[in-house]
């Protein structure tokens, strides 16, 4: 279930609030300038290709491109049997920013976005059908868990794709990881 847990950066072990109400999640994130939507999912085969996935969501992707000026869209997918899963997980676990919005639509599976906003950290457990758009310059990180299983559509303004600027802060290491927040620990 999609969940938003809000932490105080100075007391990061326990959230000060948690909600699973999609309307409340949308409202709380919107107050912080974060776009959160839930799209109608499509029935796709488990082995759907990137082309099939992008075709299934062509209308929504085209609307976002037109509205926000995105140039490209692709699909990223990771499964628990991937031998590089730990390296992929580590790549995104440190706080970073981007010079463009980071947009993800979860076609299947789940992942945890942490958004460092002022003195708070908003941990958003995104699930199938969730779209999140993290504005450029927003300090954040992503945890896919030790057994990642997700497929996401990504949209980019920069044709080079995912380019991060790491902050060097250690806050990501002080917050509960995916295992605890997903209840799999």
Spatial CB neighbours of 119, under 8 Å, sequence gap ≥ 6: 8, 9, 10
Residue 109: alpha-carbon gap to chain centroid: 11
- Cβ-in-10-Å burial (0-12, 13-18, 19+) of 169 comes to middle
Alpha-carbon distance of 134 to 111, in angstroms, equals 14
Residues in the annotated binding site: 96, 98, 102, 140
Task: Give the alpha-carbon dihedral of 14, 20, 25, 27, to 10 degrees.
Answer: -110
Annotated binding residues for Ni(2+), as ranges? 96, 98, 102, 140
Residue 75's CB is within 10 A of a number of other CB atoms, namely 18
CB contact at 8 A, 115 and 82? no
**CA geometry: angle 143, 83, 134, nearest 5 deg:** 25
Summarize the annotated binding site for Fe(2+) as residue ranges. 96, 98, 102, 140
């Amino acid at each position: 279930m999609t969940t938003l847990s809000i932490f105080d950066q100075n007391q990061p072990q326990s959230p000060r609030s948690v909600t699973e109400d999609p309307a409340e999640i949308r409202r709380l994130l919107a107050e912080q300038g974060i776009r959160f939507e839930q799209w109608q999912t499509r029935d796709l085969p488990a082995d759907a290709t990137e082309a099939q996935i992008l075709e299934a969501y062509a209308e929504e992707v085209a609307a976002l491109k037109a509205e926000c000026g995105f140039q490209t869209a692709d699909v990223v997918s990771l499964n628990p049997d991937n031998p590089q899963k730990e390296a992929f997980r580590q790549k995104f676990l440190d706080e970073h920013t981007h010079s463009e919005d980071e947009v993800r639509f979860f076609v299947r599976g789940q992942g945890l976005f942490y958004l460092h906003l002022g003195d708070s950290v908003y941990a958003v457990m995104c699930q199938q059908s969730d779209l999140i758009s993290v504005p450029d310059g927003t300090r954040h990180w992503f945890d896919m868990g030790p057994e990642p299983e997700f497929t996401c559509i990504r949209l980019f303004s920069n044709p080079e794709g995912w380019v991060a600027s790491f902050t060097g802060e250690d806050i990501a290491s002080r917050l509960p990881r995916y295992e605890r927040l997903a209840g799999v620990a």
